[in-house]
Amino acid sequence: MATKAVRPKRVKIPVRGPGKTPITLIVNGQAHELLVEPRRTLLDALRKDLGLTGAKKACDEGTCGACTVLLDSKPIYACMALAIECEGRAIETIEGLARDGKLHPIQQAFIEEDALQCGFCTPGQIMAVKALLDANPSPTLEDVKRALSGNLCRCGAYPKIFKAALRAAELLESLRARHSH
Amino acid sequence: MPKVIKTKTEFEGRTLEEYVVVEGEGLEPWEPQAALRFVGKSTPRIDGPERVTGKALYTADVQLPGMLYGKILRSPHPHAKIKKIDTRKAERFPGVRAVLSSQNTPKIAFRRQTFLFDEIVRYVGDEVACVIADTEEIAQDALELIEVEYEPLPFVLDPEEALQPNAPKVHPSGNLLNGEPEVYERGDLKEGFAHADVIVERTFRTQCALHNCMEPHGSVALWEGDTLTVWDSTQHIFGVREGLARLLGLPLHKVRVIKKYMGGGFGSKNNLGKYTVIAALGAKMTGRPVKVILDRHEENLAAGNRPSSVQRLKIGAKRDGTLTALELKAIVAAGAYCLWPPSVGGPARELYLCPNVRTEQYTVFTNTGPLSAFRAPGYVEGTFALESLMDELAQELGMDPLELRLKNYAEYDQTTGRPYSTKGLRECYERGAKLFGWNLKKKGETRERFRRGVGMASQIWSGNGMPPAYALVKINPDGTATVITGTQDIGTGTRTVLAQIAAEELGFALEKISVELGDTQTGPYAPLSAGSMTVASVGPAVRLAAHEARQQLLDVAAQVLEVPRESLTIADGLLHSSALPKPVAVHEVLKNLENFMIIGRGARAPNPEDVTVNTFGAQFAEVLVDTETGEVKVERIVAVHDSGRVINPLTLSSQIEGGIIQGLGYALFEQRVLDRSTGIVVNDNLENYKVPTALDVPEIVFEMVDRPDPKANNLGAKGVGEPPIIPTAAAIANAVTNALGVRIYELPITRERVLKALGR
C-alpha cells in the first residue's frame, strides 16, 4: 500500500558546534562568558573553564552525586548536563554558599556534626541538602535520607550527614525566626 | 644524639624487623586520670572550613598553566602478548603532544612482576600506552587511533583453577606467589583434633571487593629544571617519592611529592601507581605539566581490590567448648601482580586460645586486576570464616555463641608468647551484649515472611603504630605554633588529632596551632597512612616535638622574664610563675627576640619488645530478612571497641560508623563480577557495583573502652581506622543464620543466595 510521503515541517534549530561556541553561564549570580565545545559538560565547564573545582568529578556518568549543583534551584548532577543546556539559567555551586567570609548554616552544621571524612563528596552532599532545605525547610529523617540517596559517600559519613542536615534545618529556622522579629 | 635501634614492628598481620633512628628523651603517657584540655575532647576538624566550601585542593583539582592531560590505553585481553604497537596516527592527531608506550620509554620494572609498559598484558585493564594531549577529550579520542596487535594467550581467572598443574601460567615462574604457601604452625594439629569431642569443618568463600574511593587515583607532574614535583592522591608521600626517585634515577632532593587533601584510599593508595610514573615521564617528554586521573571504570579495573578468598576451616573442641585444634587452608586471588598479600589466617592464629593451630595460605596469580590492601586486609575475610564457624560450633555444642568466645578468651598473644599490653575484649563483649540486649533465644526461626535474627562477632587487629615517624613543632614569634610532619590526612582527621596533641603538650589554645602535612620537601618522614597506625605512629612524635619546643620556650622565657625556670608553667598561651606579678603571654616574650623561632623535634620511640600491642572489639547485629525477596535489612549494629585512649571522640565516631557501613556493603552487596569467557569486569562502575547508600544505613550504637594503653606509646592511643570493618560482615552473617536457621557460607549475602538457602 502506497502512502503519501509527508514532508516534516522544518523546525529551525540553531546548529552549534562541533567546534567551540560562545555561551554565557550564570554561576552564583555572576555571568561568565566562555567558549566551549557543545560536548563539554557543565561539570567540566565549571571545573576547567571557570576554575570552580568545588563540584567533584568522581564518576562523570551520573552515578555518585559528587558533582551535585543546583540548576534553577533543583539539584542536578553537573556531569549529566551539557554546559550549553544551562545557558541563562541559575547555577548554584558550593563556592556560592558562604557569604562575606561567613559559612552557610549547612556548612557550619557539616563541620560541627563532623559530617565528612575525606570530604570529596561533601560539596555535593551540601548542595543536595541545600536543595532539600530550600524546598522543605523542616524535613524528617526519612526526607533527608531520600533526598541524599543519590549522593554516595564511600567513607560512610551518612549518619553524621543526616544529623547535619537536620541541624542545619534548625539553624536556618532560628535565623528566619530572628529575621521575622 | 640519634640512637640506632633494631626493632620488631607488626604491620597488617606480619612482623618485620628493622633499624630505626630515635632521638630525644621518652615521655610517659599522660595519667589515665590526668585533666587534659584538648586530648579526649570532641573536636570538629580544623580543616573543616576548607572541606565544606570546596576550597580544599585535591589532586584532581590541581590545574597548572599549560597543563596537559594523559589518558591510558588498557588491555582488552585478560592475557596477551603485544606483537606490534603503532602510535603514529595518534601522534599526528591535532592536540596530541606525546604518546608513551614500550617503544619510547625506558623499561622500568614495576610491582615485582611486570614493567611500566610490559610486552605481555595480564588482565583486562593492564596498561598498554598513554596519550598526552591538550584536553582530556582529545586524549580520549586519540586512544582509538593507537593500533595494537595482540596475540591472545590462554588465561585463568579463578584462583582454584590457577592452582591446577595444567593451568595457564600468569607468570613464567608459576601461579603461586613465592612458589609455596605461607604456613604457620603451633602445637600438634593431629593431636588436637584427636582430642576433640566435636569437629566442625566448612568451606567459606568471600568475594572480590572494589575500593571505589570517591577521588580516583591520579597524579599531576611538573618539572622545574631537573626537579620533579608531583601532586598525588596517595596514602604515602614518602613511598611515592622513593619510588619515583628509584625508577627515574633521580636523587631524593629533586623529587617533591605533595598531597594536601585526599578523597579516600582505604589501602588502595598505599603504593606508587603507574599513572604517577606515566605523568612524570609525559611531563618530561612534553616539557609541560601533565595530569593523569583515572576514570571510574579504570578505578574498578586497575586500582586494586580486596581479593576473593576460599577458606577451608576446621575447628575441634571439647564438649565444654574448649578449642583443641584449628586449621585453615586459604586460597587468595592475587590478581595479576602482588606486592603484599593479605593475611587471611591472622584471626585464626590470634583470636582464640588454642594450642594446636595451622594456617596455610596460597596467594595465587590470576589474569584479573591486581589486589591491594583494603581496610584490614585479610582480617575482614578471615574473621567472616572464623566467626561463622565459631557460631556453628556453638550451635553444635548447644552453647551461646558469646559464652563460647569467652570460654576461649586468649589472655596472651599465642603467636609470640608475649602478654598483650592491654586487652579490653572481655569488656567489649560485656558492654556490647548489654547495650544490644544480647539474647539469642529471643529471636530464632519463625514462620513469618519477615524473620528477625541476631548475631555477633569479634575483632582483633594490630593498630599499634611504629617507628620511624618524625615531627617538628615550630613556635612562631606571635605565640602560634606549626606542626610539621610528612604524614597524610586521608580523611581520618589526622590534622585535628595532631593539633590537639600539640596544643595539649605546649599549653597553647587549639586555634593557635596549624598542621602542615603531605609535603615531602617540608615534613620529616612519616610512614604510610595505613594499618590504622597514623595516630599511634605520628602522634607520639608530635607530642615529643611539642615537648621539646616547650622546653626551649621555658628556657628562653626564664631568661627574658628573669624568673627561675622551674617556677614557669604554660597554659592557654600564658606563662605563669609565682615569681611574676601576673601571667605573661608567650608572644610578649618572643617578640623581643628578633624573630627567633623555636623548633622542637620529635621521634617515635620503638614499640615495647615484651608485650604485643593490639586493638580489639565486638559487634552485634540485628537483621530482618524478607523470605519472599531474600532482602536482608540490617536494622541495628552495636559496636564496642578497644583502641586505647581516645584522642578525638568526634572524628573517631565517624571512623567507627564508616567502617561498619563499609562492612555492611561487603556483607550484603559489594562484589566484582567477571565475565568468565573474556575476563572483563562487567560491573566496573557505581551503577552496578553497589556501595552502601544513605538508605542502607542501620542504627549504629557504639562505645569505646577508652582506657589508655600505658605500654603502647606516649599517648596510650592505638588505631581505629580498620577495626570497625573487621567484624561487621561476620556479625551480619551470624544474624542472618539466626534469622533463617540455615547458614550462607559465601559473601556477599545477596537476595539470590538467601532464596537459594531457603530452597526457593
| B410, B427, B452 - which closes a domain | B410
Which of A37, A61, A116 is nearest residue B296 as measured by Cβ atoms? A61
From B3-17, B190-204, B407-421, B588-602, the region with the lowest mean pLDDT: B3-17
Q: Which of A56, A58, A152 sits opposite B693 (nearest CB)?
A: A152
Domain assignments of chain A as residue spans, ordered by start? 21-96, 105-180
Instruction: Give residue B18's pLDDT.
Output: 79
Judged by CB atoms closer than 8 Å, whether chains meet at A54 and B54 is answered as: yes
**Domain tally for chain B?**
3
Domain boundary among the residues B367, B389, B410 is at: B410
Domain that holds residue B11: 3-35+466-603
Region B597-623: mean pLDDT is 96
Identify the pLDDT of residue B701: 98
* Per-residue pLDDT tens digits for B549-590: 999 999 999 999 999 999 999 999 999 999 999 999 999 999
Distant-in-sequence, close-in-space partners of A170: CB < 8 Å, separation ≥ 6:
none
Percent of chain A at pLDDT exceeding 70: 97
Is residue B440 assigned to a domain? no
Query: Which helix (H) or strand (E) segment is B752 a member of?
Result: helix B751-757
**A94 vs B: CB within 8 A:** yes
Peptide bond preceding B468: is omega within 30 degrees of 0, i.e. cis? Answer: yes
Chain B interface disruption, residue of A114, A130, A144, most B CBs within 10 A: A114
Among the partner-chain residues A95, A111, A114, the one whose CB lies closest to the CB of B49 is: A111
Rg (CA), chain B: 27
Are B144 and B239 within one domain?
yes
Residues 1-30 of A with CB under 8 A from B: none
Return d(Cα A32, Cα A26) in angstroms, integer. 6
Q: Which of B61, B135, B210, B214 to mutate to test the interface with A (most CBs of A within 10 A)?
A: B214
Residue B220 contacts residue A70 (beta carbons within 8 Å): no
Amino acid at A94: I
Closest CB to B694: pick one of A59, A111, A148.
A148
Q: Give the distance between the most distant pair of CA atoms in chain A.
A: 77
Check B491 against A148: CB less than 8 A apart. Answer: no
Check pLDDT > 60 for residue B445. no
Choose among B52, B650, B655: nearest Cβ to A122: B52
DSSP category for residue B46: T
Q: Residue B11: which pLDDT band, with cuts at 50, 70 and 90?
A: confident
Interface of A with B in 123-162 (CB under 8 A): 123, 126, 144-146, 148-149, 151-162
Which triple of cell numbers denotes residue B603? 621521634
- Indicate if the pLDDT at residue B441 is higher than 70: no
pLDDT band at A3 (very low <50, low <70, confident <90, very high): low
Residue B200 placed within a domain? yes
Smallest CA-to-CA distance from A118 within B52, B703, B373 is with B52
* B136 & B279 share domain: yes
Q: Is the separation of the CB atoms in B226 and B256 below 8 Å?
A: no
The verdict on B290 and B237 lying in the same domain is yes
Indicate whether A22 pLDDT > 80.
yes
Q: The CATH number of the domain where B15 resides is what?
A: 3.30.365.10
Q: Which of B658, B691, B695 shows the shortest C-beta gap to A117?
A: B658
Query: Do residues B394 and B323 share a domain?
Result: yes
Domain containing residue B248: CATH number:
3.90.1170.50
- The CATH fold of domain A105-180: DNA polymerase; domain 1 (1.10.150)
Q: Is some CB atom of chain A closer than 8 A to the CB atom of B203?
A: no
Mean pLDDT of B118-136: 97
Model confidence at B443, in pLDDT bands (50, 70, 90)? low
Q: Which residue of A has its CA nearest to B54?
A: A54
In angstroms, the CA B97 to CA B676 distance is 38
Residue B691: list chain A partners with CB under 8 A: 152, 154
Buried b (16+ CB within 10 A) or exposed e, B71-106: bbbbbbbbbbebeebebeebbebeebbbbbbbeebe
- Assess whether B224 and B288 both reside in one domain: yes
Q: Tell me the shortest Cα–Cα distance from A171 to chain B, in angstroms.
A: 17
Sign for the CA dihedral angle at B90, B95, B98, B102 comes to: negative
pLDDT at A18: 84
Contacts of A17 (CB under 8 A, 6+ apart): A37, A38, A39
| Residue B658 in contact with partner chain A when CB distance is under 8 A | yes
> What residues of chain A, 98 to 127, have a C-beta less than 8 Å from chain B?
98, 103, 107, 110-112, 114, 116-123, 126
What does R_g of chain A's alpha carbons equal in angstroms? 20
Residue B412 has pLDDT above 90, yes or no: yes
- Average pLDDT on B345-360 reads 98
B292 & B387 share domain: no
Among residues of chain B, what percentage have pLDDT more than 70? 99
| Contact assessment for residue A28 and residue A93, using Cβ atoms and an 8 Å cutoff | yes
Evaluate whether residue B678 is within a structural domain.
no
Which of chain B's residues have a Cβ under 8 Å away from the Cβ of A145?
694-695, 697
Q: Give A9 to chain B, closest Cα distance, Å.
A: 35
Picking from A129, A110, A2, the residue whose alpha carbon sits closest to that of residue A65 is A129
Give tens-digit pLDDT for A102-130. Answer: 999 999 999 999 999 999 999 999 999 99
* Same structural domain, B358 and B507: no
How high is the pLDDT of residue B522? 95
Q: What would the DSSP string read from start to end of A44-107?
A: HIIIIIS---SS--SSSSSSS-TTEEEETTEEEEGGGSBGGGGTTSEEE-GGGTSBTTB--HHH
What residue type is A122 in one-letter code? T
The cell 610490559 sits on which residue? B118
B583: region left, alpha or beta (phi > 0 left; psi from -120 to 50 alpha): beta
Q: Is residue B698 part of a domain?
A: no
Contact between chains at B694 and A162 (C-beta distance less than 8 A): yes
**Residues B227 and B363 both lie in one domain:** no
Of the pLDDT bands very low, low, confident and very high (cuts 50, 70, 90), residue A138 is very high
Give tens-digit pLDDT for B185-241: 999 999 999 999 999 999 999 999 999 999 999 999 999 999 999 999 999 999 999
B655/A118 Cβ within 8 A: no
The strand pair at B109-110 and B114-115 is best described as antiparallel
Point out the residue among A37, A119, A156 whose CB comes nearest to the CB of B261.
A119
Q: From the CA of B99, how many Å to the nearest CA of chain A?
A: 23
In this complex, which of B51, B60, B216 lies closest to A122 when CB atoms are compared? B51
Task: Average the pLDDT over B432-454 and give the result.
Answer: 83
Q: Which of B581, B603, B625 is the last residue of a domain?
A: B603
Residue A116: which of B51, B293, B296 has the nearest Cβ?
B51
- B654 close to A (CB below 8 A): yes
Question: pLDDT tier at B760 (50, 70, 90 boundaries)?
Answer: confident
Domain covering A21-96: architecture: Roll (3.10)
Q: What is the DSSP letter of B117?
A: T
Are B275 and B400 found together in one domain? no
Q: Is A82 on the interface with B (CB under 8 A)?
A: no
Q: Give which of A35, A155, A158 to mutate to test B binding, by max B Cβ within 10 Å.
A: A155
Cβ contact A53–B61 (<8 Å): yes
The residue among B237, B230, B335 whose CA lies nearest residue B290 is: B230
- Residue B729 placed within a domain: no
Is residue B25 assigned to a domain?
Answer: yes
Report the pLDDT value the prediction gives residue B439, as an integer from 0 to 100.
83
* pLDDT at res. A2: 55
Residues in B closer than 8 angstroms to A158, CB to CB, are: 657, 661, 692, 694, 697
Cβ separation B44–A149 shorter than 8 A: no
CA distance to partner chain A, nearest, from residue B697 (Å):
7
This prediction has a pTM of 0.96
The verdict on a CB contact (< 8 Å) between B694 and A110 is no
Same domain, B508 and B576: yes
**In this complex, which of B49, B660, B694 lies closest to A149 when CB atoms are compared?**
B694
Q: Are residues B382 and B277 both part of a single domain?
A: no
Place of cell 514532508: A7
CA B590 from chain centre, in angstroms, equals 42
Query: By CA distance, what is B493's nearest residue in A?
Result: A117
Q: Roughly what angle, to the nearest 10 degrees, separates helices B649-668 and A158-180?
A: 130
Q: How far is A5 from chain B (nearest CA, A)?
A: 40
* Domain identity same for B328 and B223: no
Residue B630 in any domain: the answer is no
pLDDT digits (tens, 9 = 90+) for B136-186: 999 999 999 999 999 999 999 999 999 999 999 999 999 999 999 999 999
Interface of B with A in 569-628 (CB under 8 A): none
The count of C-alpha atoms lying within 13 angstroms of the C-alpha of B269, restricted to the half-sphere facing its C-beta, is 30
Q: Is the torsion defined by CA of B565, B571, B573, B578 positive or negative?
A: negative
